[in-house]
Amino acid sequence: MIKIYNSLTGEKEPFEPGSVVNQAGDATGQAGELVTMYVCGPTVYDHAHLGHGRSAVAFDIVRRFLEFSGYTVDFAFNVTDIDDKMIKRANEEKITVADLAKRIIPEYDTDYAALGIKAPSHNPRATDYIEQMISLVRKLEDKGCTYRLEDGIYFDIKKFPQYGKLSHQKMEELEAGARIAERTDKRNHQDFVLWKFKKEDEPFWSSPWGDGRPGWHIECSAMSHALFGKTIDIHGGGLDLKFPHHECEIAQSESAHGQEFARYWMHNGYITINQEKMSKSLDNFFLLKEIFEKYHPRIVRFFLLSTHYRSPIEYNEEQLQQARNTLRGLDESYLRKTSTQNPSDSLTEALTKADETLIAEISQKMSNDFDTAGAIAALFKGIDQASLAGLNKIDEIFNIFPTDFQVTEEQTALLKERETARQEKDWAKSDQIRDKLAEEGIEVEDGKDGSFLRPRI
């Protein structure tokens, strides 16, 4: 049984998805239990940083293990392509917001693909769901949950007495702890804007209340409802989104539809630098593409998986070097098994008893709120006894092994030439060929049994 730590209750709970695929199967053609999963994605005004990568990897693993366990996962990972930051950056660069999004979104896709993130079932963009957002605001208006101010339409949190239930804060505590609001005429400090009226030099859309654009919080509620209906199984995102973003999503969604918005709420922990939260305001954040210049994306993925998704991760060079060394060891264990068997052939091989034992141990760890650290420790313990078929099966969860590592005919010829040079003690030529192979992504390690090849990371 899979147990998930539910941020809403503060407890680990047995996972029981609420949707079942009919006998004909869902859109993927698979029959079985369906999991609807919505994860808050990036606001695409700048390049992806390590925090984005951490969240993407955390929920990629959740998705992969659910699928490994037999579920069909309908997975949405949204893109916010209209908000204050987008507008500010576009104005600074003297381009349109749409052009900014068009440039940045493919870079996110590239970075996520490099990290081994499985493509989502849905990748909705906020600007494609404006009509659904307007419809949701109208529904809230009809229920008496909104009011109008000079700059937009606001949600009155007093209309939703459970406001604060996700962050475990009481209404009076929220009011007492609130900062001075941007607008002093709001009914309550925590009231949030649903629809912002048009300002000069900003994109806008027509609405029943006047030209404008959606508030940030309304986006995910509208897109989630459009894709999955009123209630979803899992809603995830970074811990920084828990309040107020996810709190506001609950308030507006449950006020509009009269039923539970998400059964399980999941939040990944922060990245820390010198024990401080990584953030742009502290100027201590790192872009993924900058990290990839020094460390292979597989190293970064492994580094992120080595800590439980809810725990903070301390980012530093020492940790990444350790991840590199550890991954090199895993690569060697995996690739030595390929010396006697083609990886593609192993996909049809039956699992051994040792494989089944190892998979059971890893599954037990992962079933306990996706304990990747414990699962990787189990992998290390049993990897020598596992077959190549078993490791390929396990990699359906982790996606860390060099399954696509190949040596071309030209590289094979170079290796033979290098071996001849070594026999003739032409060390300069031997080193020259080794360096050339390194440039092509192949690391050569010489030993008493000959040369061993692995991907250079």
Q: What is the pLDDT of residues 199-222, one digit of tens each?
A: 998 999 999 999 999 999 999 999
Domains defined along the chain, listed by start: 3-268 (3.40.50.620), 283-398 (no CATH), 409-455 (no CATH)
Quick one: which of 397, 404, 408 has its CA closest to 338? 404
165: CB partners within 8 A, 6+ apart: 8, 247, 250
pLDDT, residue 26, reads 40
Classify 242 as helix, strand or coil.
Answer: helix
Contact between residue 181 and residue 280 where contact means Cβ atoms under 8 Å apart:
no
Of the segments 8-12, 181-185, 427-431, which one has the largest average pLDDT value?
Answer: 8-12
Share of residues in the chain with pLDDT > 70 (%): 92
The yes-or-no verdict on residue 344 having pLDDT over 70 is no
Dmax over Cα atoms in the chain, in whole Å? 87
Average pLDDT score over residue span 53-82:
97
Q: DSSP of 12-26, one letter per residue?
A: EEE---SEE--TT--
Share of residues in the chain with pLDDT > 90 (%): 83
The yes-or-no verdict on residue 450 having pLDDT over 80 is no
Contact between residue 238 and residue 268 where contact means Cβ atoms under 8 Å apart:
yes
The yes-or-no verdict on residue 231 having pLDDT over 70 is yes
